[in-house]
Amino acid sequence: MQPDVLFVLLLAAAASSVGGLLLCLRRWSEESLFAMISASGGLLLAITLLDLLPHSIGGDHHDLTPFVLLGFAAMFVLEQIGHSGRSVGATSVIGVLSGFLLHAYVEGVSLIASFRLDSTLGLSVLLALLLHKIPDGVTVASLILAATKSRVKAFFGASALGVATLVGASSVELVETMLPPIWSPVMIAVTTGVFLYVSASHLVPLIQHAKRAQLGVYFFAAMLSYMLITTFLHGKLHVHV
């Protein structure tokens, strides 16, 4: 694994630990948490639609949109499996944690796939991971903290997500020579579906249910800012057809 790819992989893996650490070290106000979630939701949706989706539509790798649907459906199934986790029992927490670990594993694979396909795309995927891995770490840590009352266990539970990401990336390194050339774009398409699910099914409804006008401002400001940055840095939006 190249040193630069290893560095960004470690950075993405550490984000989950940061999320757990944030929860364990201090209590954030509800307003601050919602502001961060709103901005993250706008950025994640913009990255998904402007950077990831164009790589799955047409181009040299044909139309891979069925794999976008596959990624979306896989997240839906994982959500259904761990749905009982809201009751915060020992078994339910294990179920939710298992779903998050599988999700993190796929993210590790996706990060490597994106850098193999396009370094610029890889950086976009890294940013997307950083945006929602911290909330993932907070979510897992809060569930474990509620079930065990142990901040240490909560922190290590969140850190396990980072480990799963590293395992996913490492597994690709081991079997990459046996994979067909199409594997990288396919994984990008799957990742697109995963990120679309996270942003549209989790973050957007959360912002809407909060019924606070300023949250919509944060959401659209973040989305618009990323679109403008993408436009000015690349001269045009990422269109690969």
Sequential pLDDT tens for the chain (241 residues): 566 667 777 877 787 788 778 767 766 666 776 777 777 778 778 888 887 788 777 655 567 888 889 988 887 887 776 554 444 444 445 655 766 787 788 778 888 888 877 777 788 778 777 776 777 777 677 767 766 777 888 888 888 888 888 888 888 877 777 777 777 788 888 888 887 887 787 778 777 777 788 888 988 998 898 888 777 765 544 444 3
pTM of the model: 0.66
- C-alpha–C-alpha distance, residues 169 and 68, integer Å: 20
Instruction: Give the Å distances, CA to CA, from 94 to 58, 98, 160.
Output: 40, 6, 12
* SS3 per residue for 93-153: HHHHHHHHHHHHHHHHHHHHHHHHHCHHHHHHHHHHHHHHHHHHHHHHHHHHHHHHCCHHH
With tokens 């944690």, the residue in question is 97
Burial of 151 (0-12, 13-18, 19+ CB in 10 A): middle
Q: Would you state the pLDDT for residue 89?
A: 46
**DSSP-derived 3-state class of residue 212:** coil
- C-alpha–C-alpha distance, residues 195 and 167, integer Å: 20
Instruction: Give the Å distances, CA to CA, from 119 to 3, 8, 112, 114, 122.
Output: 14, 11, 10, 7, 5
- C-alpha–C-alpha distance, residues 123 and 127, integer Å: 6
DSSP one-letter code for 11 = H
DSSP H or E segment with residue 30? helix 30-47
